[in-house]
Structure 1
Amino acid sequence: MTKISVLLVDDHAVVREGYKSYLSLSEKIGTIYEVDSGESACQHYMQQPADVVVMDLSMPGMGGLECIRRLISREPRCKILVFSIHNELIYATRAIKSGAKGYICKSSVPETLVEAVCSIAQGQTYIDAPMAQQLAVNMITEQNDESKIKLLSPREFDVFCLLANGNSPREVAENLHLSYKTVCNHSTTIKEKLAVKTIAEFTLMATRQGLIEPDKLGD
């Protein structure tokens, strides 16, 4: 049986050593490489690919999400498991959308890491059970959001995006060369079509659809 090769990407040497020690106990896992940054991960993978890349998100320099995007753009078959302290759903959502095949939290029991690595090596996806349930609900919500946003005209969509990004109606009017009254009318129509009442709900919906990048996510 061919053993699984793993590339550990984490900026803390002690943390990497702990994961390496635990992974090495599995008979299914063979060579374990390790690097301390996203930049090094990209360089190492191009020179010495691993079956599974275990990636932290919060690292100095290139963050985990950017590293995932770069690896996938260079090698779409790259299998990446995010192993992060972040248990917020938005991090898992962005990681999966960036191309990761799995997401588990560092608070998970140790056995979960080995199980996730083996599953992803076999071409499966692996997400912590509690987070997987949240993601499923979130995907349904996103689909509902998308169907509503498609009801907007091109001009309404422009107004929606600008308002969701924190621009005032007057700023939107100036940006799009519209009258203040026209922007307010568009805003009212948009709220009716999207079934929302506040600009905060605009922002939440836009974020779920990837129209707004969460600040410094994964950096």
Structure 2
Amino acid sequence: MIKVGIVDDHAIVRTGLRQFLSEHVDLRVVGEANDGREALELVREAEVDVLLMDISMPEHGGVDALQAIKARYPDLAVLILSGFPEAQYATTLLRFGASGYLNKECPPEEIVEAIRVVARGRRYISPAVAELLADSALGGGEDRPLHEQLSEREMQVFLRLAQGETIGAMAEAMFLSVKTVSTYRTRVMQKLKLNSNSDLTYYAVKNGLIQ
């Protein structure tokens, strides 16, 4: 029996996933969460084999949640189910520790297949993601977005800045000094070739990284 946790800020999505997964005898939904903070609580309180998680959620989003969960539970399989196209997020999230990435437009049975694969300790790589990884490995993809060059910490800082968070608030939340966060901000600006926080926000919205 594979124990699954569902994380999505839309109750109707959670309900639909729960009903669909319940039709498979080897899967059991053991809990649900509305955002990243609740996801951490779910993993801490319930015995979860696979966490099926959206990436775009208010307040405590999936990117921060993924990194926080993998820091505490490195062996937990986290399968991302997102409305964003693979090209915008997949390779970055796999680098951050996700076990797989699926677009919400995928066939429902693919979700079940992916859950079974990652529950065995393997990564689930869809054809679309495999193509992205192949392009990256072959040194291609000159047209790949600049944000894919960002490190894990730089991506965190970038997304927080793009959503209007101050450097001081970030430093406190990430347990870093203001100076360190400022350094990350400078690196992000340089790598993305941008000049201001408003530019960061525009870039993030344009590339579908925030809503």
Class of the TM-score when normalised by the shorter of the 2 chains:
0.5 to 0.7
Say if 1:57 and 1:218, in contact at 8 Å, map to a contact too: no
User: How far off is 1:93 after superposition?
Assistant: 1.1
Q: In the alignment, which residue of structure 2 is the partner of 1:62? A: 60
Aligned with residue 92 of structure 2, among 91, 94, 105: 94
Say if 1:119 and 1:125, in contact at 8 Å, map to a contact too: yes
Q: Which has the higher contact order (CA 8 A, sep 6+)?
A: 1
Q: In the alignment, which residue of structure 1 is the partner of 2:113? A: 115
What secondary structure is seen at the aligned counterpart in 2 of 1:126?
Answer: coil
Q: Which amino acid aligns with 2:112?
A: V
Aligned with residue 131 of structure 2, among 122, 126, 133: 133
Q: In the alignment, which residue of structure 2 is the partner of 1:166? A: 193
Q: Structure 2 unaligned runs (5+)?
A: 143-186, 196-202
Say if 1:105 and 1:128, in contact at 8 Å, map to a contact too: no
| Number of residue-to-residue matches in the alignment | 159
Please give the TM-score of this superposition, normalised by the length of structure 2: 0.67
Kindly report structure 1 stretches of 4+ aligned residues shifted beyond 4 Å: 160-163
Q: Which amino acid aligns with 2:193?
A: G
Q: Which amino acid aligns with 1:18?
A: G
Say if 1:65 and 1:218, in contact at 8 Å, map to a contact too: no
Q: Which amino acid aligns with 1:30?
A: R
Q: In the alignment, which residue of structure 2 is the partner of 1:208? A: none
**Deviations, residues 109-143 of structure 1 (Å, cap 9, x unaligned):** 1100100001110111112212222222123328x
Call closer, same or farther: CA 1:136–1:29 in 2, change over 3 Å: same
User: How far off is 1:88 after superposition?
Assistant: 3.7
1: distance between equivalents of 2:98 and 2:29? 21
Please give the TM-score of this superposition, normalised by the length of structure 1: 0.65
Q: Which amino acid aligns with 1:215?
A: A
**Deviations, residues 8-28 of structure 1 (Å, cap 9, x unaligned):** 000000011111111111111
Q: Which amino acid aligns with 2:78?
A: I
2: distance between equivalents of 1:95 and 1:11? 19
Say if 1:8 and 1:53, in contact at 8 Å, map to a contact too: yes
Q: Structure 1 unaligned runs (5+)?
A: 145-159, 169-213
Q: In the alignment, which residue of structure 2 is the partner of 1:4? A: 2
What secondary structure is seen at the aligned counterpart in 1 of 2:3?
Answer: strand
Q: In the alignment, which residue of structure 2 is the partner of 1:197? A: none
Say if 1:20 and 1:32, in contact at 8 Å, map to a contact too: no
